[in-house]
Amino acid sequence: MRFSLGALGALTACALSLVLACTPKGHERRPHGEGRAHHDGEGEGDAEGSDQDMRKGVAESDEWLDVEGFGARIRVPKGWEFGQQGALVLGTEVRSKAAFLLVGASGAADARKKYEIGLDLLKLEVGDSSLSKRTVTIHGLSFERQDYEKATVGGKRARGVALVADAPKGHGGLLLFLGYSLEGEAALEKELAAAVESISRE
């Protein structure tokens, strides 16, 4: 059975029924790993590790990065900073006016934990959403998507997005995407949308 965001919502005491529609109360910053870029599909990864294991850079062209152990990859837009380690992929516009992460999770509880860490990492506060969730299919992967019109990043208005799906067939677990672009940054919003649309099987 395909994973539903509603299963995540059942794990929370948030006002909305979906965990991706609210920021958990008492949310605090915590240490977490980032990533080491990887292109050959070797090994399995988690979202935790040390900066010493992380390959960082700036994409000179569209940069494909793998979510190790979960059978998926994503394209980082040209000119964006990137990092990858194991099952965590990061992409950040160089002025931090847009950013995303794509991470693998072992199950619903792990996805909720990584959702909270992801909000911290991106400095993203989502608030209530006026847009209803919907199911979208990207390269054969069925995601549940939630858009946040009233998000903020560092006190600045932003448009946020979260998606979750089962990992590709043959790989256990889930894929979780979080991202944002600041309000008024139409070009970056398009680049973020292109990154979302690039999510595919390895």
Domain membership of residue 44 as a residue range: 5-201
The CATH number assigned to the domain holding 73 equals 3.40.1000.10
Question: Whole-angstrom Cα distance, residue 103 to residue 121?
Answer: 12
How much is the mean pLDDT over the chain? 78
* Contacts (Cβ under 8 Å, ≥6 apart) of 133: 5, 18, 20, 21, 144, 145, 146
Q: Is 119 helix (H, G, I), strand (E, B) or coil?
A: helix
pTM: 0.76
Sorting pLDDT into bands at 50, 70 and 90, what band is 149?
Answer: confident
Q: How many domains does the chain have?
A: 1
Over pLDDT 70: what percentage of the chain? 72
Sorting pLDDT into bands at 50, 70 and 90, what band is 55?
Answer: confident
What's the pLDDT at 199? 98
